[in-house]
Structure 1
Amino acid sequence: MIPDIFAVNFFIALFALIDPVGNVPLFAAATSGLKNSTARLIAVFVSLFVLGFLIFFYFTGLSLLAFFGISLPAFRIAGGILLLLLGLDMTRNDFTASLQASTDEEGVAAGGRTAQARRRFESMIVPFAMPLLIGPGAISTVIIYASEARDYGMVGVVTGVGVIALVALSTMLSFWATPIISRLLGRIGLAIVVRVLGLILCAMAVQFILSGIADSTHGLILEEASQPYKS
């Protein structure tokens, strides 16, 4: 039962951070003017990048913390503060609309169909796949849940990798369904999805901060608050 809760929480946190549905307008703008087959291929490449990058930090993140002498509670608090800032930005502002203009400028700058598709994909890696989909918040979340997965042994490790793969698959399917989602939700619906995910992200960020303070102090935070679903 506990691994199931771990998997659900991990998936919700990563899904809220990567926000594939909320990033559909950006993907649509970044692949505007391309054939559907080319856009789907770009979605596969972006999803594979997300999968490989997150799995890398899932297995090496704790070692990197040890190398730099950073305790897990300190990283948990720092990651929670960062997630809180990101979540507040998602709930207060439609940041997808603010990034729409810059993505449109990249599309205009590219020229030639075959060359344009290649340049479009290469330009999306840095501003789209890395800072937007895989930001510091997603990396922090992967490292934090990697530490929790150790309590479940090999089952936890496999579960964590499965969650990352499921999030990457969800990202690819969301981008594949860009035309359908855009028509179904509309601009207002997409904005609502972003804000709801931002609210969930804020709550998880506060939970990270509470857990970090509880792990680094004695009796300051109630155990029921730092680990509400521990059995």
Structure 2
Amino acid sequence: MKSNPQVLSMTLTFFLMIDSIGNIPLFASLLKNFEPKKQQRIILREMLIALGVIILFELLGDMILNFINIKTPTIIIAGGVILFLIALKMIFPPQAEPVTDIVDKEPFIVPLAIPLVAGPAILAAVMLYAGQAENHFSIISAIFIAWLPSTLILLGSSYLKKLIGKRGISALERLMGLILILIAIQMLLEGVQLFLKAV
């Protein structure tokens, strides 16, 4: 079983990759035509769906990586590269595209659960972690611990948006990106170190 620092590291990584702070404007825009109570029901439902999808990919990840015979150093280096690219987008976000309003039909699975929460980045990351884990319990625990505050943040997204404003949300997302870059570089260094030892 992984030690507590490793579980905490995974938890922080997953929380940053879910990017609940960065998703606040998108969730608010897509749900603005619904009553507050209805908004919260939709958010909770979509977050539960996203949680199920993320855990499913974690459970399948080890099997897929073993089937294609991917070694541990490759998994760690790939994870570091993925995290680094995500962090760069958080720090230097691309030009925002206009979000199409949903008036009469509430969003279901797409785009809130997938890909805004359970996007390609976190799905790839949990698969990579699964490939180097001794058991699934520690990773699933980290996923759930990261998911819980992310869900609470999005449930209170309308209040947070009013409280800290767009600039505050942007600043927090950039701060999370900086932390994610540190984690990514640490993963890259560990992967290179393991590779050199194996040569």
TM-score exceeds 0.5: yes
CA distance in 2, matches of 1:186, 1:111: 24
Shift of 1:171: 2.4
1:196 maps to 2:194:
no
SS in 2 for 1:126: coil
Aligned length: 198
Shift of 1:63: 0.9
CA distance in 2, matches of 1:55, 1:175: 20
Greater helix share, structure number = 1
Shift of 1:148: 4.8
Tell me: CA distance 1:136–1:73, structure 2 relative to 1, closer, same or farther (3 Å): farther
Equivalent residue for 1:73? Answer: 73
The 5 A counterparts of 1:10-159 are 10-93=10-93, 95=94, 98-99=96-97, 101=98, 103=99, 105=100, 107=101, 110-112=102-104, 116-117=105-106, 121-122=107-108, 125-150=109-134, 157-159=136-138
Q: Which amino acid counterpart does residue 44 of structure 2 have in structure 1?
A: V
Equivalent residue for 1:225? Answer: none
Contact 1:91 1:195 (8 Å CA) reproduced: yes
Equivalent residue for 1:164? Answer: 143
CA distance in 1, matches of 2:170, 2:147: 22
CA distance in 2, matches of 1:140, 1:215: 21
SS in 2 for 1:98: coil
Equivalent residue for 1:224? Answer: none
Tell me: CA distance 1:145–1:68, structure 2 relative to 1, closer, same or farther (3 Å): closer
RMSD over aligned Cα, in angstroms? 2.2
Shift of 1:147: 4.4
Contact 2:80 2:184 (8 Å CA) reproduced: yes
Shift of 1:146: 3.1
TM-score, length-normalised on structure 1? Answer: 0.77
CA distance in 2, matches of 1:136, 1:81: 14
- Following TM superposition, the consecutive aligned residue runs of length 4 or more in structure 1 with deviations greater than 4 angstroms are none
CA distance in 1, matches of 2:132, 2:47: 25
Gaps spanning 5+ residues in structure 2: where? none
SS in 2 for 1:200: helix
Shift of 1:139: 2.2
TM-score, length-normalised on structure 2? Answer: 0.88
Shift of 1:84: 1.0
Contact 1:16 1:201 (8 Å CA) reproduced: yes
Gaps spanning 5+ residues in structure 1: where? 221-231
CA distance in 2, matches of 1:54, 1:182: 26
Task: Output one character per residue of 1:149-168: Cα deviation in whole Å (capped at 9) or x when no partner.
Answer: 41xx5xxx433322212222
Q: Which amino acid counterpart does residue 33 of structure 1 have in structure 2?
A: N
Q: Percent identity?
A: 28
CA distance in 1, matches of 2:49, 2:6: 24
Shift of 1:19: 1.1
Which entry has the higher C-alpha Rg, 1 or 2? 1
Contact 1:76 1:140 (8 Å CA) reproduced: no
